[in-house]
Structure 1
Amino acid sequence: MSLRATPLAAALLTITLAACQPQATPAPTGNQPAATSAASSQTDARFADLSQRWLDGWLQLQPVTSTQTGDHRNDTALDDFSAAGRQKMIDFSRKILAELDTLDVSSLSRENQVDAAILRNQVRYDIWTVETLQSWAWDPQLYTGTAGSAIYTLMARDFAPMPQRLKSVTQRMEKLPTLFAQMRENLDPNRVPKIHAETVAKQNSGLLSLIDELVAPNAKSLSGAERKRLDAAIATLRTAVADQQKWLDETLVPNAKGNFRLGQTLYDEKLAFALNSPLTRTEIRTRAEAAIGETRREMYEIARKLLSERPNAPNPMPLQPNDAQQQAVIEAALELAYADRPARDKVVELAKQSTTEATAFVREKNLVSVPDTPVQVILMPEFQRGVAVAYCDSPGALDKGLDTFYAVSPIPDAWTPEQVDSFLREYNTRSIHELSIHEAMPGHYLQIAHSNKHPSTLRAVLGSGSFIEGWAMYAEKVLADAGYMNNDPLMQLIQRKWALRAMANAILDQAIHVDGMSQDDAMKLMTQTTFQQEREAAGKWVRAQLTSAQLPTYFVGYSEHLDLRREVEKRDGKAFDIKAYHDKVLSYGSPPVRFARELMLDQPIK
């Protein structure tokens, strides 16, 4: 999972890519009539100006996102979720949209046609999020995510001297009680889902861990009045967090009566904005169900061959199994992988080791250009736990040379031995390798490092979740096809099991939010059809309730990446070069895959 730029509604999952300088206006080509070239150049210049004004205004309205992008002009400010603050976002977005409507998009350069389409989608998404989705009225994650990120993004990376960052975090901490007040004012307990309230109640104390682990140990960098102001801000925030916890526990959680299911209308509208893909909800489900069937058949063949060489193999193992036979054989083979797993306290260590090994393999096989920017495997900050097991947090493009964080959630201390066993069966040794491929190499870390080199402002800020997550899932297949871990059949089996997870994600999201899928049916899809362990499935059930339109990004992007590669392979024939292809795809930044396809195949931008 990669934490990327999202609309105002998804602050918890927002760790944005950075903004670059506006794209240079393309020089006219010799094949264009002079008048047409001049008009195109003027339109490109107008769009460059508009996109820069949008970026400046958008980041000013969202200071935490501004810090995340690497634009540090707003480091002392905090997002305003009051009615007036929300209206500012709407007014600003409508003004930008009106200006976009006056542009002759067809006369823009092809790159800017893509960016104009991306910008239009985002501006409309922002308006829809505030006016129609209204997450500010029912999703407390919006506020806790912003509060935690407000501190974390200032302290996690050394983008400026520590005293400067401490002064900024002091001013943000002084403003956090106002954010809490806005949260209490805006949220309607009758609309807040119980699962959202309970999750935020657990996350709230994570703010104090940020203070204790990132801020307080560095307080000595300040002295005099600045140190006193920092200490006062910390003391005030501790009180505010305690008061907030009391309100969460005694008011919000007991009175939360909202429905976590979006319903068909809101879901379909959000899905269209979030994916920016030609695939409809129905098409996504049809593709996912077909892919599950095909992948299970592949797993059966791998398992059948593997087990035929071992004693105590399931019997029978026919060439054409029925459903029960297929299930039993695949499960028996997976048990061999589950037996090889890390100790409870060695998961992060194995994540580091597997990242190193995957990097060496990518270089050896010459699969894609490897960036030289650093990556660190870290424990996931407490305020961000509870949604995903791991994520990739890349620096903004303006924060040159800073670390990428591959964050792994620790096993909760409160888990029973049975729960820990379930988790480690799912995240066995080979699965940790698969996780590192997805999050780091050649998945999110590599792809976002390439993306941050693209000159487009919009491509840098508004990275497509389906391109990003789809690439990471595609990267898993690339390494499996290239024989990672010496074509180990158990690794081949685990890779396909992980693919099944993404396919199930795409079905779960719409089935839960639109079709009313029950927890029992969701757990059956995950634990039986797609072989997930109970702890993984239980966590995914929670995640599917807390989020929407994010879980399909993996499979949708993966499908589109595979479709694009097949088309290029067909076009290039024997001249197809996998490294050249990957470098070319990644050179476009992180647009929705539909636009990467149109650019690569020289098709009209739609």
Structure 2
Amino acid sequence: MKNYLFALLLILSITGCKKDGAGADDGNSPFDTFKQQFIDGLWKQNPDWASSVGYHKYDSVLVVPTDGSRAAQKAFYQSMQAQLASFDLSKLPPLNQIDYRLIQNQLQSSIWQIDTLKQYQWDPSSYNVIGSFAFILNEQYAPLTTRLKSFYQKMENIPTYYEEAKKQIKNPVPELTSLAAEQHLGGVSVIEKDFGDSLKKTKIPLAEQKLMLARVKTSVAAINSFAQWLKDFKNPTPRSFRLGKDFYAQKFKYDVQSAYSAKQIYDSAVVRKRYLHGQMYKISKQLWPQYFGKKAMPADTLLLIGKIIDTLSVKHVKPEDFQSAIEKTLPQLVDFVKQKNLLYIDPSKPLIVRKEPGYMAGVAGASCSSPGPYDKGGNTYFNVGSLAGWPKEKAESYLREYNQYMLQILCIHEAIPGHYTQLVYANQSPSLIKSILGNGAMIEGWAVYTEQMMLDNGFGNNDPGMWMMWYKWNLRSVCNTIVDYGVHTGTLTRDDVIKMLTKQAFQQQAEAEGKWKRVSVSSVQLTSYYTGYKEITDLRDAYKKKMGTTYKLKEFNEKFLSYGSAPVKYIRELMLAK
């Protein structure tokens, strides 16, 4: 999930942090030298990751997934661990202490994935290269001719890459096998068609173009062959997609980097769910006479809430207007943030709403993709899933889920002042480490936090319907945690999940089915929304208490974001330090 403004204010915010004693080294310390060595080596080992964050030295390189390449990666991580251990954490400035911990976590996680998790054996979707090619083709970081030549050189290893991938896959998870086939077939047009269309716009000699197009054919054949191989794969006793308690606890520790354990977050989510039901019940009683007159209210609390939500959900856009409605909402959000003085919004940084690319399909219906820290001038995209070709009933169910209220909350979450705002702030952070090793729980938590912040400050004019839908939306984050933990560490079935999400979280059938698919092809990430939200709101309350009468929401928001995409528990240490 690679999602992703504000220069002048950020400089002021960072300066403020330094005055508080949270400054980093001057860039010339031994630890800063080590950080640069770590980053340089990281990109050499992971060229696709490097390209995605705007570092283009290795754009033409496609690492073939062999035992040897994996051993080289592990050797690099172990070497970096040894060098990191030579620094005394307690003697580093606070911001570099965070970088130390982020690097330490990344190295431990990478070695654990290679030695213990071994996802390369059971997750075919981890071998998809198309996204990297699409990035090279679509981003304007270099002249088109330069990018096409990198694209061409990178294609050379595609056939070998996928032949080796077949050898590495031992006992694939069926759900991940289907996802991989779907994503490859959905995204192969990037190479099969888009590359050739772009080639026509250049002055590359025709003879050279002919060679390039010949390589396209072999590359497309390799991708289609891999997709078909996955479809035909016979696996009578396949691995379950469920991680199990031990793997889950360890992955949560590395991926989320919370002050809480996975079980503690699960327990908190269960309590939060009861609270949200109570709030929704109060609003339901308030709205019932407006919509049902003197008709008797259902005695069952969940049934009452469900009837009010169903009534409110009827108002939604037409399928063909879904994307345009999002485009119209964004300026309204900008105006509100400015009016309420919640954050600085830089008008020179556009957000482009686009149809979700085929290679990204199959996991989420909306997402934000921001340029990396090396490519700060690149485009930021709001990716919107298309409803074209959907059966009428399925489209109606989806649109009721994203009704007139929910669509606005979605835009807050994905764009302003959610992901789009936070990730551009993160790219302005003085710490490259915090940008490239961004913490998903902080990123997702911020987006959830901003939803409530906007409503708390009057967005939607305190319409009970808007609050009702936000409680439902927040309930989604809460149930994401309950479902993810319950499925991967327990025995929750598809029917259990669908029933919980439709009856207790009041989601439409299409949304609930989509969540089951998502939990069956991902793990832990779904807990990041509620985990980050809880930690940020807890921090804001503690910071407000610390600042007393001098507390200002805008100052909290900007100071919080100035630390980059670091785990909330480390930002908390700095913001609450005396």
TM over 0.5: yes
Q: Which residue of 2 aligns with 1:276?
A: 257
Q: Which of residues 57, 65, 75 in structure 2 aligns to 1:73?
A: 57
Closer/same/farther in 2, CA of residues 397 and 540 from structure 1, 3 Å limit: same
Q: CA deviation at 1:255?
A: 5.3
CA contact (8 A) 2:191 2:220 kept: no
- In the alignment, is the contact (CA less than 8 A) between 1:374 and 1:401 conserved in 2? no
1:173 aligns with 2:155: yes
> Which residue number in structure 2 is paired with residue 388 of structure 1?
364
Provide the rounded CA distance (Å) in 1 between the counterparts of 2:147 and 2:322: 32
Which residue number in structure 1 is paired with residue 276 of structure 2?
295
Q: CA deviation at 1:108?
A: 0.6
SS of the residue 2:461 aligns to? helix
Corresponding position of 1:374:
350
1:261 maps to a residue whose letter is R
Name 1:10's counterpart in structure 2.
none
**In structure 1, how many angstroms separate the alpha carbons of the residues matched to 2:26 and 2:290?**
69
The 1:312/1:332 distance shift into structure 2, 3 A limit, reads farther
- Between 1:233-242 and 1:378-387, the stretch displaced more is 233-242
Q: Tell me the percent identity.
A: 31
Q: Distance in 1 between matches of 2:406 and 2:312?
A: 9
Secondary structure of residue in 1 paired with 2:156: helix
Q: Distance in 2 between matches of 1:280 and 1:107?
A: 28
Counterpart Cα distance in 1 of 2:461 and 2:163: 57
Answer whether contact 1:80 1:86 (CA < 8 A) is retained: no
Counterpart position of 1:492 = 467
Q: Can you list the C-alpha shifts for 1:529-576, whole angstroms capped at 9, x where unaligned?
A: 111111111111011011111000000000000000000111122321
* Cα distance between partner residues in 2 of 1:95 and 1:42: 25
Q: How do residues 423-442 of structure 1 correspond to structure 2 at under 5 angstroms?
A: 423-442=398-417
Aligned counterpart, 2:40: 56
Q: Kindly tell me: are residues 134 and 149 of structure 1, through their superposed partners in 2, closer, same or farther at Cα, counting changes over 3 Å?
A: same
2:127 aligned residue (128, 143, 148): 143
Query: Where do residues 384-533 of structure 1 align in structure 2 (5 Å cutoff)?
Result: 384-411=360-387, 413=389, 415-533=390-508
CA deviation profile, 1:168-224 (whole Å, cap 9, x unmatched):
111122221122112101001xx2111111121222212322235632221121323
Contact 1:368 1:579 in 2 (8 A): yes
Aligned to 1:196: 176
Residue type of the partner of 1:243?
Answer: S
Q: Of the candidates 311, 317, 334, which is equivalent to residue 292 of structure 2?
A: 311
CA distance in structure 2 between the aligned counterparts of 1:223 and 1:94, rounded to whole angstroms: 46
| Correspondence for 1:338 | 313
Q: Secondary structure at the match of 2:428?
A: coil
Shift of 1:43: 11
Equivalent residue, structure 2, for 1:184: 166
Deviation of 1:256 (Å): 7.0
CA contact (8 A) 1:374 1:402 kept: no
1:250/1:309 CA distance change after superposition, 3 Å: closer
Give 1:357's aligned residue: 332
CA distance in 2, matches of 1:310, 1:339: 12
Please tell me whether residue 534 in structure 1 is matched to residue 496 in structure 2.
no
d(CA) in 2 for partners of 1:92 and 1:272? Answer: 22
Shift of 1:312: 4.0
Counterpart among 149, 153, 162 of residue 144 in structure 2: 162
Which letter maps to 1:530? A
Provide the aligned length of Structure 1 versus Structure 2: 562
Give the direction of change, closer, same or farther, for the CA distance of 1:330–1:95 in structure 2 (3 Å limit).
Answer: same
Letter in structure 2 aligned against 1:168 = S
C-alpha distance after superposition, 1:249-304 (max 9, x if no partner):
2226x657111111111111111001111211221111101111111111121222
- Look up the SS of the partner of 2:367 in the other structure: strand
Alignment equivalent of 1:45, drawn from 25, 29, 34: 29
Residue 228 of structure 2 is matched in structure 1 by 246
Deviation at 1:410, TM superposition (A): 0.9
Residues 80 and 51 from structure 1, CA distance in 2 versus in 1: closer, same or farther, beyond 3 angstroms?
farther
| Paired residue secondary structure (1:74) | coil
Structure 1 residue 332: Cα displacement: 2.1
Distance 1:41 1:217, change over 3 A: closer
Quick check: 1:230 aligned with 2:212? yes
Partner of 1:217: 197
Is 1:547 equivalent to 2:522 in the alignment? yes
| Residues 477-531 of structure 1: CA deviation (Å, up to 9, x unaligned) | 1111112122222111111111000000111111101112111111122111111
Aligned AA (2:182) = K
Contact 2:187 2:357 in 1 (8 A): no
Paired with 1:565 and 1:109, the residues of 2 have a C-alpha distance of 23
Change (3 A) 1:500 1:159: same
Q: Which runs of 5+ in 1 are unaligned?
A: 5-14, 16-25, 33-39, 318-323
1:314 Cα deviation from its structure 2 partner = 5.4
CA contact (8 A) 1:44 1:108 kept: no
The answer as to whether partners of 1:150 and 1:172 remain within 8 angstroms in 2 is no
Q: CA deviation at 1:44?
A: 7.4
TM-score by length of 1: 0.89
Distance 1:313 1:71, change over 3 A: farther
The 8 Å contact of residues 274 and 465 in structure 1, kept in 2 or not, is answered as yes
* Secondary structure in 2 matching 1:484: coil
Task: State the TM-score, normalized to the length of structure 2.
Answer: 0.93
Which whole-Å CA distance do the structure 1 matches of 2:380 and 2:263 have between them? 36
**Alignment root-mean-square deviation, CA:** 2.2
SS of alignment partner, residue 352 of structure 2: strand
Contact 2:130 2:188 in 1 (8 A): no
Give the 5 Å matches for 1:100-139.
100-139=84-123
Q: Counterparts of 2:295 and 2:272 in 1: how far apart (Å)?
A: 25
Between 400-409 and 547-556, the greater mean CA deviation after superposition: 400-409
SS in 2 for 1:486: coil
Provide Cα deviations, 1:71-103, integer angstroms capped at 9, x if missing partner. 110010013321011011100000000111111
Judge conservation of contact 1:314–1:328 (CA < 8 Å) in 2: no
